[in-house]
Structure 1
Amino acid sequence: MDLEFLHTLDVQILGAVAVAIVAVVVGAVFLFSSKKPKVCLDPENFKQFKLVKRDQLSHNVAKFTFALPAPTSVLGLPIGQHISCRGKDSQGEEVIKPYTPTTLDSDVGKFELVIKMYPQGRMSHHFRELQVGDYLAVKGPKGRFRYQPGQVRVFGMIAGGSGITPMFQVARAILENPNDKTKVHLIYANVSYEDILLREELETLAERYSSHFNVYYVLNQVSCLSYAK
């Protein structure tokens, strides 16, 4: 009788230990998964994001900051890809145009767009009218190219005007990754020095990562300005 009792007790103890282990594992999985940042982009459907800040950088360029649903949310945009933005032109007709955020998924809780607004641009009209508190319809990610850290030894880039944003996205992702030793050379063309978008940000990168990043400004009035060190 005593042996049967001890055997029953051992089974009960083992059962209790097994239940405890399962509970710990389930709790750990839940805790780990709950800490993963929420990805906000939907490749099939437009989602609305609130404009929380608008900075006018020049007479026709502004930086728009949009809030994500939570402070820990990420946009979920792979490096090298872009988003589609939907708005209305001056005639009230729907227009969709691709843009590349200047922020990365390391910038949690928000994403930013630097937009040059052209007088006759259909989507430019939508951004000119966009005020803090308004919402922008966004869908993505889009694009076939997706950068993988270390996939090339040297990355050569050529950009003009507002085409700097996808280059800036890739360059920043490379340079801010300590495990990516890729060197980046950027040639950036504009009409005048005042037209250079993200100039301060580019020159900050050139100073901070001088051994891996060189940027050259090509202007209509001046053949070539270099900010390489």
Structure 2
Amino acid sequence: MSLLRTAFRPSVLSARVRQYATEAPQKKSNLVPMTLAVGGLGGLAFYVWSTRTGASSEPLPSALNSDQFVSFKVKKVVPYNHNSSTFIFELPPKTSSKLPVASCVVVQAEDPEALKDKKGNPVVRPYTPISAAENTGEIAFLIKRYETGVMSKHFHTLKPGDSLKIKGPIPKFPYKENEFDEVALIGGGSGITPLYQVITHALSSPSNTTKFKLLFSNVTEEDILMREDLDALAKKHPKTLEVVYLLDKPKDDWKGPKGFISSDVIKKYVSPATSERTMVMVCGPPGQVAAIAGKKDGFKQGEIGGVLKELGYTSDQVFKF
């Protein structure tokens, strides 16, 4: 196990999770910016595609601050489905988020006193943007509204001109190219966002040889977030990405797997625990994470449990976002 990977393993990650990393500046590029035209894509698919294909003539500074919250105004709200929308925030000109992979940010209401938890503390929640780290002047979040989610409900009250405080980046998992032969990504609902961050980063490299298996569960077909983008990636990278959608309540014409992500599903699609260079990353609602990999302990990883423990996977082979 590499020194870098060991330094961020669950046993020591908790001591570092609130230490916000700053990405080193990239070397200056001599590439001339390119303008690409795309037709036939709409909504979120076009937005994500466009933010990931623009080239920049020189590196952009980060608009984020790893030491304190910074207020950003909502530029646009784009409905995605019946309970999810993309919230696009305006960054200062000629700046970007510069988020390293894999990392996230934490958000807080513009008025911390207006949104508190049961203990009277300001509500702070982690989120992973769907926009590219080099996207100029914008940062976007795809947010699903959960009835029990204090911050997700607050997001859905925001309109253009409103502000939200953002702080970061927070390092999560130090992704290293080709460290693993296979990475299984198990997600549910809006838990797709950090998994998507890893996938798009890895597959953007022509040197990538790691095979990714995404098991993505949702209640209905309409609940599947970023499906157009995931399908496009799988079509473009058929040898290194396999996407499997599972539904709890499918319609009669659904041809994919049904039900929860069980031990049988994992055994069917994921390399066994005996494969040393296999990694499993999990992100979803707390109940799903607990059932698959054991409960998280706040920002700490918590003990390995659930289906993955039953199948013999160890804490070194599992990471919970």
TM-score by length of 1: 0.77
TM-score by length of 2: 0.56
Cα deviation for residue 90 of structure 1 reads 11
Cα distance in structure 1, aligned partners of 2:124 and 2:141: 15
8 A Cα contact 1:60 1:117, kept in partner:
yes
What secondary structure is seen at the aligned counterpart in 1 of 2:216? strand
The yes-or-no answer on 1:81 pairing with 2:109 is: no
43, 52, 66: which one aligns with 1:43: 66
8 A Cα contact 1:90 1:125, kept in partner:
no
Identity of aligned residues (%): 34
139, 162, 171: which one aligns with 2:190: 162
What secondary structure is seen at the aligned counterpart in 2 of 1:205? helix
What secondary structure is seen at the aligned counterpart in 2 of 1:152? coil
Aligned ranges for residues 92-103 of structure 1 at < 5 Å? Answer: 92-93=115-116, 94-103=122-131
127, 130, 134: which one aligns with 2:158: 130
Partner of 1:68: 91
Aligned ranges for residues 9-24 of structure 1 at < 5 Å? Answer: none
Instruction: Report the aligned-residue RMSD.
Output: 2.7
Partner of 1:118: 146
8 A Cα contact 2:91 2:138, kept in partner:
yes
8 A Cα contact 1:89 1:125, kept in partner:
no
CA separation of 1:91 and 1:135: change in aligned 2, threshold 3 A: closer
Partner of 2:119: none
8 A Cα contact 2:245 2:257, kept in partner:
yes
204, 214, 219: which one aligns with 1:191: 219
Residue type of the partner of 1:163? Answer: G
Cα distance in structure 1, aligned partners of 2:115 and 2:239: 49
What does the per-residue CA deviation read over 1:170-195, in whole Å, with 9 as the maximum and x for residues that have no partner?
00111112232222110001111111
Cα distance in structure 2, aligned partners of 1:90 and 1:200: 39
8 A Cα contact 2:129 2:140, kept in partner:
yes
Cα distance in structure 2, aligned partners of 1:125 and 1:98: 14
175, 181, 184: which one aligns with 2:203: 175
Aligned residues: 196
What secondary structure is seen at the aligned counterpart in 1 of 2:156? helix
8 A Cα contact 1:89 1:123, kept in partner:
no
CA separation of 1:192 and 1:102: change in aligned 2, threshold 3 A: same
Cα distance in structure 1, aligned partners of 2:81 and 2:148: 17
More moved, 157-166 vs 50-59: 50-59
202, 205, 208: which one aligns with 2:233: 205
Residue type of the partner of 1:69? Answer: P
What does the per-residue CA deviation read over 1:176-228, in whole Å, with 9 as the maximum and x for residues that have no partner?
12232222110001111111111111111111222211100011135617xxx
Cα distance in structure 2, aligned partners of 1:54 and 1:204: 24
- 4+ runs of 1 displaced by more than 6 Å? 88-91
Structure 1 unaligned regions, length at least 5? 1-29
Structure 2 unaligned regions, length at least 5? 1-27, 31-56, 117-121, 251-255, 259-321
The yes-or-no answer on 1:55 pairing with 2:78 is: yes
What secondary structure is seen at the aligned counterpart in 2 of 1:129? coil
Cα deviation for residue 56 of structure 1 reads 0.7
What does the per-residue CA deviation read over 1:11-65, in whole Å, with 9 as the maximum and x for residues that have no partner?
xxxxxxxxxxxxxxxxxxx9x9x94311122121001222111111122100011
Partner of 1:139: 167
Name the structure where strand makes up a greater proportion of residues: 1
